Structure formats: structure tokens, C-alpha cells
A and B are shown apart, each in its own frame.
Chain A
Amino acid sequence: MTEGRDRTKDIWGARTPYDPGTPWPARADAHLAPGVAEDDVERWVPSASLLHSNGDAMDIAVRDGRIVGVRGRTEDRVNRGRLGPKDLYGWQANGSPDRLTRPLVRRDGHLEECDWDTAMDQVAGRSRELLEQRGPGAIGFYTTGQLFLEEYYTLAVLARAGIGTNHLDGNTRLCTATAAEALKESFGCDGQPGSYEDIDHADVIALFGHNMAETQTVLWTRVLDRLAGARPPRLVCVDPRYTLVAQQAEVHLAPRPGTNVALLDALLHEIIRRDLIDQEYIETHTVGFDDLAAAVAPCTPRWAAGICDVTPAAIERAAELLGTAERLTSTVLQGVYQSHQATAAAVQVNNLHLIRGMLGRPGCGLLQMNGQPSAQNTRECGADGDLPGFRNWQNDDHVADLARVWNVRPQDIPHHAPPTHAMQIFRYAEQGSIRMLWITGTNPAVSLPELSRIRSILAQERLFVVVQDLFLTETAQLADVVLPAATWGEKTGVLTNADRTVHLSEKAVEPPGEARADLDIFLDYAARMDFRDKDGGPLISWHDPESAFAAWQRCSAGRPCDYTGLSHDRLRRADSGIQWPCTEEAPDGTARLYTDGITFADPDTCESYGKDLVTGASTEVVEYRSLNPDGKAVLRAAEYLPPHEDTSPEYPVQLITGRTVHHFHTRTKTGRAPELNAAAPDVWAEMSPTEAAHQGLSDGDLVQVGTPRGAVRARLRTTAMRDGVVFVPFHYGYWDTPEGHRPPEGSAGRAANEGTITDWDPVSKQPLFKTCAARVTLVARRATPPVRERTDADADAGSRS
């Protein structure tokens, strides 16, 4: 039990050391509201975390119709009872007094309360008008990484087959689009090859741009427990900051932001040069090795050292560890995904595992991580830039199959081009070809790059904006219609984490006021729009989470993410989450993919034929067939390109932004949990002491971090990281400031994205938050005494998620 301990400071809790190959011991974490004892709890309702992607299983404590706490589920395979600070405290946001309880519509420039009929009639009315006058391309949807599977699937069906628009994407675009794309490039299909249990077996764990200590605190606890046990794994850390992960690492590489590809090419160069590769695995399971070897032949550690500003010896040392590991587990996150050449770099980590034959066995894990709790579900269900069930939009048979599942004609499913990605949706809105944008559960007015641009797009008169959320977020304040939604604990559904573990999260309490489950809102809309299948029956025939799940099962059948062996009932009866694919043949789920070689890359099965790693141009089927007729894994080489925006005398440092331990997404919930808010109430900026001195600054000064696009004002914390870099945590916004949705008139803001660059990876279309040029200037000297008390986590300086 963690009651009584302040887990915002004691972030990872007590150690339970364990030895390689043995199960991770359980540890029961719980937190109940003050004054509530365990005996006072009337019901414990099973659920899983919705505040990060780890998928920690927990029970929600209910008393008098209210949530009064949570406890971890010790039997669950993911967390074995542990919970992180966000889980322990975050649930309080549900009961926040400023929850939206009634729909709002804009009248004479102001949002006013109304009833559901009025609001939904406006949404349906505008949709019909636009469909008639401008066609389906005038309507776009932008969703989140925090809905349940049933909701994403319903949204995907109504947008793609109901409206017939190609413009449907999720906030997962910012988060894990690169994970998905990298997996598709190498394995022909999305879906994590490994399992979190690989941490229990690995002898080397490499973390690429992944500050696990803050982004996945419970997974990091697992690593800490291994480090405390016998024969601990050795860690390799790639991060420009001296994070807690870096402190535990045997080798820490702190490359210059924007140079990951050069670094990874050099690591591959060394491993190939020293013949530390698994020739047999390469021959049996991959294509493209010769091209890869030729491409990295000139990429010596010395060459990379010049680009990355890391010593050749450190690169050689890292290559030695990676190259001699017997059970290598690697994780990749935003330090790679949100950086220059994101997919190209992430693919090189796949290459590393492929040429070393480190797949499909315990401890040989490859974890292209997720940031958001149900990001995996957006990808499976096709609520982001993919077709449902990992179907390939370039493959007519896949489209025909989907049309069969939905009972529509193939031409009713837009597949003339890949589904439009989020940044392009906003571009179309900016240009005026998208006239209605329906935003569910996310907050682009804080989370997207270059915020003044995003605010001006959302504020356009000609754009009809619908926002469906829990609170009057920065984005909701710019909306024409606001729909109050229910959330975690107030509705039932399934969510799947980064290692393919599916959990059922059950309704524990009623939502406040007239707030409704997102699923009910989508179903209401579908009914008002009267979407029909090709025989005139209703396109969407399900009516609740359970029947929506059943519909999804039919769609997933036979595809890699096959859910046919699962049901709400099966999940309810299971002690612990279950990993897909789960079928009649694999009723207990599947721990690891690719145990007998690569299985989804076959030209007829694969989700994508791949893209050019520099230009993003799509490969055609003919080309893919000749490259990879037998459906093996594809080793794709990538050349290093210099970052698009570099430092200059005017903007001498590189700005990187990222997630830290106490907040999630745009603080919509975590900012309303008292303990989490108190632990990190305002934005700050970090620099190395040397760099700060170089800029004439010192710890505690109020500084302005400016870029060619905007500026943030923050207190400076000097901390260990590479020189030449400034770090600003996202996503602070404005809902808890007098301005509400924007910075004070004519002055700097607090949202890290005020200044970030509009640029994205051409392959995964994921925006880049780790490479732009900035200058840091003094606003006011520090007031003495020092402004704050440092916590453990601060000392390790946050993450790069």
C-alpha cells in the first residue's frame, strides 16, 4: 500500500528485486481519498490506466456513487499491482467541479448551454449541408489516443463509410505514428513484436529517446527491480539529457538533437564490421541486407561523431554492448519519433534487431512504444491514418473485404490515397477546403506545433468546429458546438496498450449532469444522419459497448490484430489483460509476434508496401512484390540528412520539448488532480549550467525561450544535459490562466508549442518537437531565496516523451 506516502515525490515506490527469468514480484499500490478506509469501499470496478500507455490494470473504488480511489491489480501481467503517480491521483479529475454537464452552442460569439437535441441537430444539419454543397471532403475528424476501442471503431465506420471522407486522424499522430510506420516499413504490419515480459529476461536493455523513468513509471519500476536483483541487465541510453535512465546506463550517448540516423547508422556499421550479426536469421527472414550493409559502410563512428557530437569511443562501446547482447530488448519513444528523420531512425532500431536475430524469444523484445493509453486502438480500428484491421488501402482485395464487413460498395470507402494525416487536415482547413472539423477528446490548440497558427485556423469563421470533451479546454473555447463527454470510470470499453495487452475498463459511476459516453454521441449522430448500408439497412447496427465490440471482432477476424477470441465477458473473467492476437487457436492470447519468423509481410497480407524513408513516396505493389516476394522482414537503409532548422547566430540553441512525470497530454485531467498540479504547477525551462552561463543566465532566472514563431516565458532550471540545448516540458496551456485559451495579449505564453516548428516526418507524418532553433533571453533575475524545492524527478530532469 502506498497510502500515506507522497508518490509524486516517491515516484517509483519500493523495490522488489528479482532475478533474470523469474516472474516480476507483485506489489500492491493503492490510493484512497482522505478519510476513506478500504472497508468503506462499496465496490471495486476493474479498469486500466487512461493516463499513459503502459496499460496498468487497476480497480476503481466506488462509494456513494462516487470514485474514491484506485488500487493496482496484483495478478495483472502488465503492472503486477503497481501504479504510477498519475494513476494514483489522476482519477480525482473526474469529480472536478468544472466538468461540462450540458452541451454548448455558439450564439452571437458566445458559448451558451443548450439541450442535446439542439446541439446534435446543429452538428447533423451542418454535416448534411456540407455533404450536399461540397461533398465528403469538406468534413474532417480529429480524435484522441484516449477513447475506447468500441468508440474508435464506430467513429471509423461513420467517417469512412457513412460520410465517405478520407479525413480522419488522431492525436496519436503526434504520439506514435512513427511507431506504427516503422513497424510497417520493417514487418509489413503494425503491432509490437515483443512483450513487457522481455524486461524480465533481457541482459541488455537499450532505450532510444525514451525516458521511461518518467513516461512509463511502472515499466521503469520493472527495470529498477531487475537492476536491484542478481545479474542485472546493462542499459544503453540515447538521450541528450542526463535523465534517470542515463544515470543508470552503462553507456549514455547524448547526441545533438536531430542526428539519430547518423548515430544509428554508425552503430549498425560497427556491428556489421565486427561481424556480430546472425547470418542465418538474416538469410532466412529478411531481404535487403546487402543494401543496408553498403549504405552503412561509410558510416564509421568517427564520421558519426562529427555529426552527433558524441565520441567515437562511446559509439564503439554502445555497439559492443548491443552487438554482444544475448537477449536484447530495445525501446523507442519520442526522442526518436518526434525528431528529425523519425521513421528512418526508428527503422534502424528494427534493423538492429533483425540483423542480430533478436526477435520472437524471451528477452529479445522490440518495443516501438506508445505514449497514449489507447493509441494502439486508434491504429487497429482505423481511426487514424490507416484502414480498420490493418488493411492496406493500396490493396483492392483488402478494401473489398472491408466493404463486405460493412456491407457497402468498395467505392463507398475512400481509398484513392492514404487517409489524410492530422497536419494535412489542418492545412486543408486553413485553405478552406475542409469546412467542418469534429475534434474528440484532444486539444490541438495546445498540443500541435506553432500555436498561433493553429488558433487562427480554429477561429476561422468559415470553419465549423465541434469539440467533444470533459472540460472547456483551450480548443473547446474556440468551438461552435461543445459536447460534454463521459470518461474513464463513467463508461465501459476496451483499451489496448503498447504490448498488445487488452483490458476491459468498466463503468463505475454515472457521468456528471447530461454528459454522455463518446460511443453514445457517435451512435446518436449516425442515427440522425441515417447512414445506410448498400441494402438500405442501418450502416451502424450496434447500440452499446458490447455489441460494438462484437462488430469490431468481425472486422478484425483473420487480420493480424485478431480479437475473435476475446469478448467483454472473457475479459471480465480473466485475472489479467490478454494480448492480441487472441483466437480459437490462441485462446490465451499471444505473448510475442514473429516467433517462427516474419508472418505479416506477405504482399497479400501486409498493411503497407512501405515508403521512401526520405521523401515519404509510397511504394507500389509491383515494386514490393519484386523486392519481397516471400514476405520477409525488410531491412531498409537510411541516409542521414541535416535537420531542417538549424541554429544560427540569432537562434543559437536547439529547443526540445517533452513530457515529464506529473502531467499527461494537455493537463486537462492531471492539472485538476491537486497532488499532480502541486508537484508541477507551471512550465519551466532547462539548460546545462555551462550553456546557461554562456547565455548569461543562472538557475531560477525568469527567461524567454523564443523561436521565429513564438515565445514562452519560464523559470530556468540548470541541470545536466548537453550544451546548446534548451528543454521545455509540454503541454502547459491556458485553461487555468485568465486568458483561457491563449497567451496574454502581446506577450509570451507558457505552452511549449508557441514556438515549435511546423514540420513533420515525411514518412509517418508525425510532427517534430525535438528540432527547432531558439534563443533564451533574460526577463528577470531570480528572486532569492531559490524558487522551489527540488524533487527526485526534477533532479533527473524530465523526459523526452
Chain B
Amino acid sequence: MNGIAHTLRALHDGERALERDLRATAERHRTDHEVHHVASDLARWSRRHSALLAETGRHYGLDLDGPKDDPSPGALAALREKAADALGRRPGAGLLLLQDLCDLHLAASRNSLHWEMLAQAAQVTRDERLLDLAGDCHPRTLRQMRWTNTLIEELSPQLLTSA
């Protein structure tokens, strides 16, 4: 597998993982309503990215799965939701939220770096298809990062200093 194919695969896996993590965060923090809703919206972006990556991958001899069939959270999620409601009243939930946001931020940054690599490779090979793909998706990855960053900035002063 050449470098481009390798990066496409890494990105595909990264976007799938990010979709899953965004959905898990959304469920776990249902009582932090903005996190819940926006994380669900942003999971859609990653879902779209992995679909586009699977499609593009074919042109590079890759057989990528694309997004998971069923984005609905399933039985485990119901359990997690219950736990989320019970936890919602405790300050500990705040620390857990900050941790989840950090993880999401790191996962999105990793994807962002991969998009960067892909775009750079596309530049030198003058691969329009890849350039378009990166140009379409990378900005959304950056917006995912800015979202986690903003939330961490806004929430941590309160959540880390309150007993």
C-alpha cells in the first residue's frame, strides 16, 4: 500500500472512531444539553467524511467499509443514558465531561493532521480528486476542533475550581 492509500485508511478509521466517540459523548452527557445536541450534529459530519473516504478509497484500490450501518445508539446506550441522568447532579460529571472533550479534541486533531498530509500529497501529485476531498472535509474537522476547544475554555474555569 502506498502512502496515500495508507493515509486514506488512517483517516477513514479516524473519522469512524470520531463519529463513535462523538455519539458516546452525546449520550454520556445528556444532561449537558448543548454538548449532547452539538456532539450529535458533529457526529454526522464525521459520518459523511468516512462515507466520502470509502468512496474515494476505491479509486486507490482500497476496500473501506464507510460508516457503520446503524448510527443509533442501541442497548448499551440506553444504559449509558440512565447513568448520565443519575450522574447529572454530581460535580464529578463535570470532570468527566472535560476529559471526554479533551479526547474528542485530540481525535479531531489527529484527523486534521491526516487531512493536512493528504492535501499536501495531493498538491504535489496534482490529484484533483483528493484535493477536492480534503478541501471539502478538512474545514469541518477544524470546526470540530474549535468546538471542543471553545467548550473547554468556557467550562473548565467553573468545573475545575468548584469543590
Contact = CB atoms under 8 A, between A and B. Distances in A.
Nearest to A645: B37
Interface string B145-163: 0110110011001110111
Contacts of B91: 431-433
B32 interface: yes
Interface in B46-77: none
A416 B146 contact: no
B33 A758 contact: yes
Contacts of B32: 427
Contacts of A618: 146, 150
Interface in A386-428: 416-418, 420, 423-424, 427-428
Contact of A431 (B44, B90, B157): B90
A351 B158 CA distance: 36
Closest 7 CB pairs of A and B: A433-B162, A615-B147, A617-B146, A617-B150, A417-B154, A617-B147, A758-B33
A417 B38 contact: no
Interface stretch (A132-140, A503-511, A714-722, A737-745): A132-140
A608 to B, nearest CB: 13
The secondary structure that dominates the B interface is helix
Interface residues of A, number: 30
B143 A614 contact: yes
Contacts of B161: 135, 137
B154 A762 contact: no
18 contacts: A135-B161, A417-B153, A420-B158, A431-B91, A432-B91, A432-B162, A614-B38, A614-B41, A615-B42, A615-B147, A615-B150, A616-B34, A616-B147, A616-B150, A617-B150, A759-B37, A760-B34, A762-B37
Contact of B93 (A431, A641, A760): A431
Contacts of A428: 158, 162
Given A134-B163, A417-B153, A615-B42, 4 more contacts: A433-B94, A612-B143, A615-B147, A618-B146
Nearest to B151: A617
A612 B146 contact: yes
Interface string B119-163: 000000000000000000000000110110110011001110111
A430 interface: yes
A731 B88 CA distance: 27
B31 interface: yes
A760 B38 contact: no
Interface size class of B (residues with CB under 8 A): 20 to 34
B143 A137 contact: no
By CB atoms of chain A within 10 A, which of B31, B34, B154, B163 has the most?
B34
Contacts of A762: 34, 37-38
A612 B147 contact: yes
By CB atoms of chain B within 10 A, which of A431, A760, A765 has the most?
A431
Contacts of B158: 137, 420, 428, 433
A644 interface: yes
B107 to A, nearest CB: 16
Contacts of A612: 143, 146-147
A432 B89 CA distance: 7
B40 interface: yes
B156 to A, nearest CB: 9
Contacts of B94: 431, 433
B147 A137 contact: no
Nearest to A417: B154
Contacts of A430: 31, 88-89
A137 B38 contact: no
Interface string B1-43: 0000000000000000000000000000001111001101110
Interface of B: 31-34, 37-38, 40-42, 44, 88-91, 93-94, 143-144, 146-147, 149-150, 153-154, 157-159, 161-163
Contacts of A431: 88-91, 93-94
Contact of A416 (B34, B143, B157, B162): B157
Nearest to B159: A433
Nearest to A757: B33
Interface of A: 134-135, 137-138, 166, 416-418, 420, 423-424, 427-428, 430-433, 612, 614-618, 641, 644, 758-760, 762, 765
Contacts of B147: 612, 615-617
A737 to B, nearest CB: 29
Contacts of A641: 41, 44
Contacts of B153: 416-417
By CB atoms of chain A within 10 A, which of B40, B88, B94, B158 has the most?
B158
Given A427-B32, A432-B89, A615 B143 contact: yes
Given A134-B162, A417-B157, A644 B40 contact: yes
Contacts of B31: 427, 430
A428 B33 CA distance: 12
B157 to A, nearest CB: 5
Contacts of B150: 615-618
B37 A644 contact: yes
Nearest to B162: A433
Nearest to B41: A641
A428 B38 CA distance: 19
B146 A615 contact: yes
Nearest to A614: B41
Contacts of B89: 430-432
Contacts of A644: 37, 40-41
Contact of B33 (A134, A432, A759): A759
Contacts of A432: 89-91, 162
B146 to A, nearest CB: 4
Contacts of B143: 612, 614-615, 617
A292 to B, nearest CB: 15
A634 to B, nearest CB: 16
A615 B147 CA distance: 6
Contacts of A617: 143, 146-147, 149-150
A273 B153 CA distance: 41
Nearest to A340: B37
Contacts of A420: 158
A418 B153 CA distance: 9
B43 to A, nearest CB: 12
Nearest to B45: A614
Contacts of B159: 433
A137 B91 CA distance: 14
A219 B147 CA distance: 40
A266 to B, nearest CB: 21
A166 B156 CA distance: 13
B140 to A, nearest CB: 9
A166 to B, nearest CB: 8
A611 to B, nearest CB: 8
Contacts of B88: 430-431
B157 A137 contact: yes
A760 B33 CA distance: 8
A207 to B, nearest CB: 28
A251 B147 CA distance: 39
Given A432-B89, A433-B94, A616-B150, A137 B37 contact: no
A344 B90 CA distance: 33
B38 A616 contact: yes
Nearest to A618: B150
Contacts of B41: 614-615, 641, 644
A535 B35 CA distance: 42
Nearest to B39: A615
Contacts of B144: 615
Contacts of B42: 615
A617 B34 CA distance: 12
Contacts of B162: 134, 137-138, 428, 432-433
Nearest to A611: B150
A138 B161 CA distance: 10
Nearest to A768: B37
Contacts of A758: 33
Contacts of A424: 34
Contacts of B44: 641
Nearest to B92: A431
Contacts of A433: 91, 94, 158-159, 162
